[in-house]
Amino acid sequence: MRRLALFLTLIITILVSSPPAMANTAAGTPVLLRETGHTLAYSFREFYDRQGGLPIIGLPITEVFVEDGRPVQYFERARLEWHGELGITLAGHLGRWAAQGRESEPAFAWSPNAPAGDSYFSETGHSLGGAFRSFWQGNGGLATFGYPISEPFAELSAQDGQSYMVQYFERARFESHPENEPRYQVQLGHLGRQYLAAHPAPAWATQPVASVDQAWAAVRPTHVRIPRIGVDTDIVSAGFSLGEWDVPRYTAAHYWPISGYPGTPGNIVLAGHVGYRGIIFSKLPNAAAGDEIYLAAGGGERRYIVREVLTLLPSDTWVMAPTSDEVLTLITCVPIGVYTHRLIVRAYPG
């Protein structure tokens, strides 16, 4: 066996147990949105599609970049965050940020109970009712918006200077627009734009890009080398389609794009073929504890030290699970010509 496709398909099928976001088996495939010139890909796109897409989250207004040690991407109405220790993307708490310093205002004060007919959330001491509750329940609820952190109240919009009935949530601000047709009577405030105006992103992350590869080369690994054993190869991003990871080429190592990112917590997973002379990871069985591995990303190199070299069965899928610390995991098949086991090389920043 000179390729890992069958094995890795099995692994990802086991690990990615959540139901598909859409009927689209290519969920997560990178796309470039011409309206803003920014990309949407991998776990960020999967979350975006599942939690409401354009009407709820808005267009992307940055590329993915590392902020406070975590890969993030800003949208008109939200900030999506990659949590490598969990292996998932979540929406950031921009509603809490926008509400900072307003705890003494009546709408934000803790309430011991809810008005008749409303839902009450003891976690935050606030209630939810009417059109806002219907919108919350119908568009992802807690996972998309978080708990309410205020009661509804009238507020002037910073965008157009008009007064609207609003309610703040951990991750969003709802606005009432009764003048619109029913499906557009609740809209979300542009907290992503508001936050970026106060906390600018790196200039490169806000600039439109010409291609997906250009955008993601800034954060994903693009080259790996292990000097002592002569491994020196480019890295490409393999397919991610909710249950599959194809390794279709022999000319480069493959990065699992829903694993970790260099320089941040999480498990960075690379796989490569073995076989005849010159194939990507044919020399990987010679790796040993103490070897240096250099991973290129974002125009620089990050150094790792090998701590473990393991030979496991295909069923030992724990090596691909998320990690709370930054870990680099390289995978190939052994023994060459038989391919009944998996060689795992694990390295840590050093």
26 within a domain of the structure (yes/no): no
Residues 241, 130 share a domain: no
Give the residue ranges of DSSP H helices in 236-331: none
Alpha carbon 281 to chain centroid distance? 28
The reported pLDDT for the residue numbered 4 is 40
What is the spatial distance between Cα 262 and Cα 276, in angstroms, rounded to a whole number? 30
How far apart CA 296 and CA 162 sit, in angstroms, is: 49
At CA 128, angle to CA 127 and CA 130, rounded to 5? 140
Chain CA centroid to CA 191, Å:
19
Which residues have C-beta within 8 Å of that of residue 293, sequence separation ≥ 6? Answer: 224, 225, 226, 303, 304, 305, 306, 328, 330, 345, 347
If asked whether residues 214 and 146 sit together in one domain, one would say no
Residue 274 covered by a domain: yes
Q: Rounded to whole angstroms, what are the CA distances from 176 to 87, 133, 165, 169, 183? A: 35, 12, 5, 14, 11
Please tell me whether residues 189 and 286 are part of one structural domain: no
**Which structural domain range is residue 301 located in?**
5-14+210-349
**Are 84 and 226 within one domain?**
no
- Domain end, chosen from 154, 173, 206, is at 206
Residue 32 lies in a domain: no
Q: Does residue 21 belong to any structural domain of this protein?
A: no
**Residues 247 and 276 grouped into a single domain:** yes
Per the structure block, which two tokens stand in for 305?
């030290």
Q: Choose the final residue of a domain: 173, 206, 239.
A: 206
Q: What is the CATH number of the domain that holds 299?
A: 2.40.260.10
> Please, where are the H alpha helices in the chain?
5-15, 42-50, 53-57, 94-98, 130-138, 141-145, 191-198, 203-206, 212-216
Domain co-membership, 329 together with 192:
no
Domain presence at residue 295: yes
Tell whether 142 is covered by a domain. Answer: yes
Same domain, 130 and 97: yes
Are residues 185 and 231 both part of a single domain? no
Is the domain of 219 the same as that of 201?
Answer: no
Predicted pLDDT of residue 173: 96
C-beta of residue 269 within 8 angstroms of C-beta of residue 263: no
Strand 70-74 with 65-67, pairing? antiparallel
For residue 28, being part of any structural domain is answered with: no
Quote the CA–CA distance of 300 and 75 in Å, as a whole number: 27
Same domain, 189 and 318: no
The reply to whether 277 falls in a domain is yes
Residues 191 and 217 in one domain: no
Domain boundary among 180, 206, 232: 206
Task: Give pLDDT, residue 253.
Answer: 86
If one counts the domains in the chain, the total is 2
Encoding tokens for residue 159?
């965008």
pLDDT tens, residue order, the chain (350 aa): 333 433 343 333 323 333 332 323 355 778 899 999 999 988 899 899 988 899 899 999 999 999 999 999 999 999 999 999 998 899 999 999 999 999 999 999 998 887 887 899 999 999 999 999 999 999 989 989 999 999 999 998 877 778 999 999 999 999 999 888 888 899 999 999 999 999 999 999 999 999 888 888 888 999 999 999 999 999 988 665 544 555 556 678 888 888 899 999 999 999 988 876 778 899 999 999 999 999 999 889 999 999 999 999 988 889 989 999 999 999 998 988 888 999 999 999 99
Note whether 63 and 205 are within 8 A (CB).
yes
pTM: 0.84
Q: pLDDT value at position 20?
A: 30
Q: Residue 215: its pLDDT value, please?
A: 87
Query: 175 with 267, same domain?
Result: no
